[in-house]
Amino acid sequence: MQHISAVREPLVTGGKTYHDVTADICYQVEAKPNIRWMMAFGVALFFLGVFFYSVYRTLWYGIGEWGLNKTVGWAWDITNFVWWVGIGHAGTLISAVLLLFRQKWRSSINRAAEAMTIFAVICAAMFPVLHMGRPWMAFWVLPLQNTYGSLWANFNSPLLWDVFAISTYFSVSLVFWYIGLVPDFATIRDRAKGPIAKVAYSMLSLGWKGSAKAWSRYETVSLILAGVSTPLVLSVHTIVSMDFATSVVPGWHTTIFPPYFVAGAIFSGFAMVLTLMLITRVVFRLEDYITLEHIALMNKIMMITGSIVGVAYITEFFIAWYSQVEFEQYAFINRATGPYWWAYASMMTCNVITPQLVWFRRVRYSIPLTFILSIIVNIGMWFERFVIIVTSLHREYIPSGWVMFSPSIIDIGIYVGTLGLFFTLFLLFAKFFPVINMAEVKTILKYTVDNGPTYTGGHGHGHGHAPAHPVTPGVPASAPVTYNQHD
């Protein structure tokens, strides 16, 4: 399967044994939440409160609470929707596309990246639902007969395609993630001591025992799910881009949108994965599992997709000139030099120039620089959507309708609030679920640790620290163990 190279960097460092993997990953699930987690959770809950307040204002007083006007009828809501959906895409890329390409390094990061996908899609879904104004009527988007006759949904509309794309994407990602979690829940169940934990993880693990036949089917299911998720993830952002591309608004009506949006989605998604992983590996002391090599590889993907996005920006400009359509040309000149020039400049700087720094090995392997880069890219990708949406709408065909858009405090509240929602969910996940796929990491251990787990247990060829405790044959895992590493 995998070529074992003497020069290839190990995927897991620290000479881990199978039991070390279990102990290290289960540690934060079993231990009491630490103070850093509590503080982070407190901050996330505060912003979740901001979210609920802003949603309350939106529902009680209506969409008028937002900064929208007659000309700009879509602004921060759709910007945030596209931004969040895009972020989600990296998780599926890691879990599905990299599985098909047999990139073994994905094992350490796929669990958290998939969780990120699911939470990001939840945040994304808030915006179109709230923009409906009457979310209790949200079921109208489904192809159901109306009360007075048989008027169905309009299947020619990209907005309806979006409903199908996002709901399929969410449910498929959720199932894919959950099936991967089942064996790990079984591990936690078999180590659990408290009665509540025993029942809870027994329920969650669905009675998984790790029998050979079950594993064989598990692998088949994972492969097929990866196979269907790969075109799915491409279709989702393609359909999101068609919300714009099938209109006749100058700046939106371009055929380049689907590939350009997909590349942008993966670009921003990897930036978010990097942001989250750099924090997670430090907070939960997972430096041996999420190594500098992982960070460098993710940086490379970010650079490639970032460059594709850069080429797309320039192509768009060229095509606007080449099309000879006055309105199209004006839309692009207005983007770069009009009243929103600062948004365009932020987008170009953050998305086109910043990722090029990753060509330098020193940047690629630097944790602080990568962290800053990942934040800048996320800001840049938010501006990209803002530029595409607001600058195209605010000066359309009729100059008498030209306006400026500025967000209201409620717009800002909902956006910041979804960040709170996202981090609340992510922190709960990080506390109660295994953040790294233990079963999968165990499969790559033998080929990547210097000598493989030795079978009398124990002697890691440690880079600095030895495994927490030797594995003694005959001692059940339920015997009290100490985690020296985490003291």
The count of chain residues that interact with another protein, using the rule CB under 8 A, is 80
Q: Could you say whether residue 142 binds another protein (CB under 8 A)?
A: no
Quick one: which of 1, 44, 108 has its CA closest to 420? 44
What are the φ/ψ torsions at residue 274 (nearest 5 degrees)?
-60, -45
Contacting residues for 281 by C-beta, under 8 A, at least 6 apart: 287, 289, 290
- Rounded distance, CA 212 to CA 250, Å? 58
Among 32, 70, 137, 154, binds another protein (CB under 8 A): 154
Question: Packing angle between helix 35-61 and helix 257-283, nearest 10 degrees?
Answer: 140
DSSP, collapsed to helix, strand or coil, labels residue 466 as: coil
User: Closest CB to another protein among 194 and 368?
Assistant: 194
Determine the interface stretch with another protein among 4-12, 57-65, 379-387, 442-450 (rule: CB under 8 A). 442-450
User: Closest CB to another protein among 220 and 406?
Assistant: 220
Least Å distance between CB 213 and another protein?
6
DSSP, collapsed to helix, strand or coil, labels residue 290 as: coil
User: Closest CB to another protein among 73 and 143?
Assistant: 143
Q: Could you say whether residue 232 binds another protein (CB under 8 A)?
A: yes
Among 87, 297, 414, 439, binds another protein (CB under 8 A): 439
Q: Which of residues 266-305 bind another protein (CB under 8 A)?
A: none
Determine the interface stretch with another protein among 72-80, 218-226, 257-265, 278-286 (rule: CB under 8 A). 218-226
- Rounded distance, CA 304 to CA 98, Å? 15
Q: Could you say whether residue 187 binds another protein (CB under 8 A)?
A: yes
Least Å distance between CB 229 and another protein?
8
Query: Which DSSP helix (H) or strand (E) runs through 314?
Result: helix 292-322
Which amino acid, 93?
L
Q: What count of residues does the chain have? A: 487
Least Å distance between CB 188 and another protein?
9
Q: Could you say whether residue 449 binds another protein (CB under 8 A)?
A: no
- Rounded distance, CA 75 to CA 85, Å? 16
Q: Could you say whether residue 225 binds another protein (CB under 8 A)?
A: yes
Binding mask of the shown chain, residues 11 to 30, with x at each position contacting another protein by CB under 8 A: ------xxx--x--------
Determine the interface stretch with another protein among 303-311, 378-386, 449-457, 458-466 (rule: CB under 8 A). 449-457
Q: Could you say whether residue 205 binds another protein (CB under 8 A)?
A: yes
Q: Could you say whether residue 172 binds another protein (CB under 8 A)?
A: yes
Residue pair 131/295 in contact by the 8 Å Cβ criterion: no
Is the C-alpha dihedral spanning 83, 88, 91, 92 positive or negative?
A: negative
Q: CB atoms < 10 A from the CB of 220, how many?
A: 10
Q: Could you say whether residue 247 binds another protein (CB under 8 A)?
A: no
Nearest 5°: the CA angle 117, 120, 121 is 85
Determine the interface stretch with another protein among 65-73, 123-131, 439-447, 459-467 (rule: CB under 8 A). 439-447
